[in-house]
């Protein structure tokens, strides 16, 4: 049985990803900053909850030790900042911590185990707002952080053997607390490509950016 860690998984897209993986027989660990909320969500799908604040290196290290070896890492946790990041340095720092430094440190701790077993899947939940092809159009620090996450995806994939695959995906505009009630997609629709990337076959792609299971430009 494959084992997966999904960050920010107690609600929204992360929870939908966790459900999709559990349905496919994956042992899922839901990473959540609020452990109580994580436990409630985990019980609904027969998964385990793990306290994990991806903005805190110590929390990441503790979580990595607790999960041990995993086959699938989904870096889903995110924050949406609307301010001018040249005026709000703290907002920029937190955006980078949650959506770039956190994913990097999780890969730092967990990917070596994947390499030892010659199997791994890393999915970075990004956004079209971080695509240079679309002008890095995201608000505030969000677009800059997602663009950096995309670059991290490419750089990491280049350093790893092809049996450890690292890809980024854009879920689209999803009805979550972040996306709002008027968004055009359900969490399940937003999660679909991430689940597909998490379960890629041996001949699947690596180092790519995807939406609706199709490659899109960076």
- The reply to whether 142 belongs to the active site is yes
As to burial, measured by CB atoms within 10 angstroms (0-12 exposed, 13-18 middle, 19+ buried), residue 48 is middle
Find the catalytic residue in 82, 104, 119, 142: 142
Give all strands of the β-sheet with 3-6 in edge-to-edge order. Answer: 48-51, 27-32, 3-6, 72-75, 120-125, 164-169, 209-211, 214-215
All residues at 6 or more sequence positions from 112 whose CB lies less than 8 Å from its CB, including other chains: none
Cβ contact 56:33 at 8 Å: no
Parallel, antiparallel or unpaired: strands 214-215 and 209-211: antiparallel
Q: Which residues of 11-47 are buried (b: 16+ CB within 10 A; e: fewer)?
A: bbbbbbbbbbbbeeebbbbbbbbebeebbebbeebeb
Cβ contact 211:126 at 8 Å: no
DSSP string, 146-209: HHHHHHHHHHHHHHS-TTEEEEEE---SBSSTTT-TT-SB-HHHHHHHHHHHHT--TT---S-E
Catalytic positions: 142
């Amino acid at each position: 049985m494959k084992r997966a860690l999904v960050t920010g998984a107690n609600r929204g897209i992360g929870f939908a990803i966790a459900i999709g993986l559990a349905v496919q027989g994956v042992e899922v660990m839901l990473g959540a900053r609020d452990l109580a909320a994580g436990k409630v969500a985990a019980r609904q799908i027969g998964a385990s909850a793990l306290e994990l604040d991806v903005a805190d290196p110590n929390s990441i290290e503790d979580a990595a030790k607790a999960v041990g070896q995993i086959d699938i890492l989904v870096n889903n946790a995110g924050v949406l900042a609307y301010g001018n990041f040249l005026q709000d340095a703290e907002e920029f720092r937190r955006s980078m911590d949650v959506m770039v430094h956190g994913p990097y440190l999780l890969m730092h701790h967990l990917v070596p185990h994947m390499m030892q077993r010659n199997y791994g899947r890393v999915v970075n939940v990004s956004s079209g707002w971080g695509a240079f092809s679309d002008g890095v159009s995201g608000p505030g620090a969000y677009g800059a952080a997602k663009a950096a996450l995309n670059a991290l995806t490419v750089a990491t994939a280049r350093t790893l053997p092809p049996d450890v695959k690292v890809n980024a995906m854009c879920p689209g505009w999803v009805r979550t607390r972040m996306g709002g009630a008027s968004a055009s997609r359900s969490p399940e629709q937003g999660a679909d490509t991430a689940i597909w990337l998490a379960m890629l076959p041996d001949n699947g792609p690596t180092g790519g950016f995807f939406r609706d299971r199709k490659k899109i430009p960076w």
